[in-house]
């Protein structure tokens, strides 16, 4: 079967790496891909949020399955259009992707269904939220309602900071109460009928060690999450995931694909922080390392509404992924710097997934984005996986990058 993957980050490299291992995979195409993906798939230049461009490509080729990596094409309606053509596509429709596309939509759904989440108010504009933020008890959480590429959230310790965050938002906003507790990420696959529970993960969102510095898309991951016990996971499935899927099904917009719940583990039990309608990045890198099943069969079964037929099994080992980012990230990253000795890292038995990489004119690997590499290792426990991931990352010769030294330790 010929497969098209949309996206070009570390998540998509991990997906392509796993799809390539399936005997069912014929031609594997990735748009736009990156220098690492080019080793396992054919990279094509395509505007993946342009629904017409994606459907034209799929029609002109013999694509039997489309796997959507990032949220942009989902919210734009790529899955709706492909289904209209009878092409199996992994991911939710635009209506169901509102779970990530609009924080206000999700908060309203949670309120109506009694799903545990922080108290909130929606405002049509930043200006109309001004007074509310100025007098809100602290800390106050200020969020842009729409997609913001992981940068639309501020947890403000002062009302002035909250107002400054508000001033940066163009469009509707959601103001929330601040929850506290450890965070965990929970992943489930669903075809609208069957729910398949995937391993959990713990992200490290701040740029620097000891959870300091600005928020990023994620600087490293441990899977499974050391905090989400089976009992807490089951509680989150019953009180958060199932009522959400029920509400969407009752609204006539059933959810299909992977649902990624960001949870806060509070003394009152798990509460929903946010939903994403895709795999996490770098969570997918850790998950793919632990997956023993056939990813083509699983994603195709999910897209075709027969998820109950596809068995996923998981390595009991722990995965640790450490992100190697370009200096300047999450602000303006310095790109174009040369990266050497990736092979020496891989020789230790880790997977080095590429995110923002390309080859320069001389064929050298160079940084081409904020997050650049995701070094992913398995071990019998988190300590062993950490040791291996860090031993490998130290083999890489790159002067333009930085990474956190404490992934899996905090």
* Piece of 104-112, 115-123, 278-286, 345-353 that binds ligand GLY (CB under 6 A): 278-286
Structure-token pair, residue 149: 């590429």
Tell me how far apart the alpha carbons of residues 73 and 12 are, in angstroms, rounded to a whole number: 14
**CB nearer ligand GLY, residue 176 or residue 283:** 283
Q: Does 280 bind ligand GLY (CB under 6 A)?
A: yes
What whole-number distance in Å separates Cα of residue 200 and Cα of residue 157?
A: 30
State the binding partner of 283 from ligand GLY, ligand AMP, none, CB within 5 to 8 A by kind.
ligand GLY
Instruction: State the residue number with the nearest CB to ligand GLY.
Output: 218
Judged by CB under 6 A, the stretch of 177-185, 253-261, 308-316, 387-395 that binds ligand AMP is 177-185
Residues 6+ apart with CB under 8 A from 128: none
- Exposure string (b/e) for 350-375, b if CB count within 10 Å is 16 or more? bbbbbbbbbeeeeeebbbbbbbbbbb
Are the CB atoms for 339 and 371 separated by under 8 Å? no
Q: Is 183 in the site for ligand AMP (CB under 6 A)?
A: yes
Of 153 and 325, the one with the shorter C-beta distance to ligand AMP is 153
Residue 294 binding ligand AMP, by CB under 6 A? no
* Residue that the structure tokens 């990230």 belong to: 329
How far is the C-alpha of 330 from the C-alpha of 384, rounded, in Å?
A: 29
As measured in angstroms, the least distance from the Cβ of 65 to ligand AMP is 29
Pick from 40, 53, 178, 338 the residue near ligand AMP by CB under 6 A: 178
Question: What is the footprint of ligand GLY within residues 126-155 (CB under 6 A)?
Answer: 150
Nearest distance in Å: CB 236, ligand GLY: 17
CA dist., res. 284 & res. 303, Å (int)? 18
From 12, 176, 281, 294, residue interacting with ligand GLY (rule: CB under 6 A): 281
Question: Does the footprint of ligand GLY cover residue 203 (CB under 6 A)?
Answer: yes
Other CB atoms within 10 Å distance of the CB of residue 275: 23
Q: Would you call 388 helix, strand, or coil by DSSP? A: helix
Residue 196 forms beta bridges with which residues? Answer: 189
**Cβ closer to ligand GLY: 10 or 162?**
10
Q: Is 220 in the site for ligand GLY (CB under 6 A)?
A: no
Total interface residues for ligand GLY by CB under 6 A: 8
Q: Is position 71 an interface residue for ligand GLY (rule: CB under 6 A)?
A: no
| Distance from C-alpha of 217 to C-alpha of 210, rounded to nearest angstrom | 16
Q: How far is CA 373 from CA 36, 37, 126, 345, in A?
A: 9, 12, 36, 11
By CB under 6 A, residue 262 contacts ligand AMP: yes
Is 191 among the residues that bind ligand GLY (CB under 6 A)? no
Q: What is the distance between the alpha carbons of residues 264 and 228, in angstroms, rounded to a whole number?
A: 10
The 3-state DSSP composition of the chain as helix, strand, coil percent (nearest 5) reads 30, 30, 40
Nearer CB in complex with ligand AMP: 273/352: 273
Question: Of 205, 354, 386, 404, which lies in the binding site for ligand AMP, with binding defined by CB under 6 A?
Answer: 205
Which residues contact ligand GLY by CB under 6 A?
A: 150, 203, 217-218, 276, 280-281, 283
| Site of interaction with ligand AMP (CB under 6 A) | 118, 141, 150, 153, 155, 176, 178-179, 183, 205, 215, 262, 273-274
């Amino acid at each position: 079967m010929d497969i098209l993957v949309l996206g070009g980050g570390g998540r998509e490299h991990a997906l392509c790496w796993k799809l390539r291992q399936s005997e069912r995979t014929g031609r594997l195409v990735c748009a736009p891909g990156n220098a690492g993906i080019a080793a396992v798939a054919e990279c094509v230049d395509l505007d993946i949020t342009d629904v017409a461009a994606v459907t034209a490509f799929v029609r002109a080729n013999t694509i039997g399955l489309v796997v959507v990596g990032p949220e942009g094409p989902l919210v734009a309606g790529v899955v709706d259009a492909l289904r209209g053509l009878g092409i199996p596509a992994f991911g939710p429709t635009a209506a169901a992707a509102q779970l990530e596309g609009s924080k206000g939509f999700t908060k309203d759904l949670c309120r109506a269904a009694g799903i545990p989440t922080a108290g909130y108010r929606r405002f049509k504009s930043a200006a109309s939220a001004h007074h509310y933020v100025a007098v809100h008890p602290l800390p106050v959480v200020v969020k842009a309602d729409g997609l913001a590429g992981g940068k639309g959230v501020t947890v403000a310790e002062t009302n002035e900071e909250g107002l400054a965050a508000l001033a940066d938002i163009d469009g509707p906003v959601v103001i929330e109460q601040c929850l506290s507790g450890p965070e965990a990420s929970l992943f489930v696959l669903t075809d609208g009928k069957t729910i398949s529970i995937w391993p959990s993960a713990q992200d490290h969102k701040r740029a620097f060690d000891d959870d300091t510095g600005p928020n990023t898309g994620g600087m490293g991951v441990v899977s499974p999450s050391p905090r989400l016990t089976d009992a807490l996971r089951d509680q989150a499935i019953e009180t958060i995931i199932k009522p959400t899927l029920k509400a969407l099904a009752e609204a006539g917009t059933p959810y299909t694909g992977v649902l990624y719940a960001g949870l806060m583990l509070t003394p009152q039990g798990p509460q929903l922080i946010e939903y994403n309608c895709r795999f996490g990045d770098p969570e997918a890198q850790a998950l793919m390392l632990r997956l023993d099943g056939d990813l083509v069969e699983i994603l195709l079964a999910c897209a075709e509404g027969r998820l109950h037929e596809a068995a996923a099994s998981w390595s009991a080992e722990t995965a640790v992924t450490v992100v190697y980012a370009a200096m300047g990230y999450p602000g303006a990253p310095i790109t174009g710097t040369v990266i050497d000795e990736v092979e020496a890292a891989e020789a230790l038995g880790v997977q080095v997934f590429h995110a923002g990489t390309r080859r320069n004119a001389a064929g050298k690997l160079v940084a081409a984005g904020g997050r650049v590499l995701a070094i992913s290792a398995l071990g019998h426990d988190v300590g062993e996986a950490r040791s291996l991931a860090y031993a490998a990352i130290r083999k890489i010769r790159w002067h333009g990058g930085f990474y956190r030294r404490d992934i899996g330790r905090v």
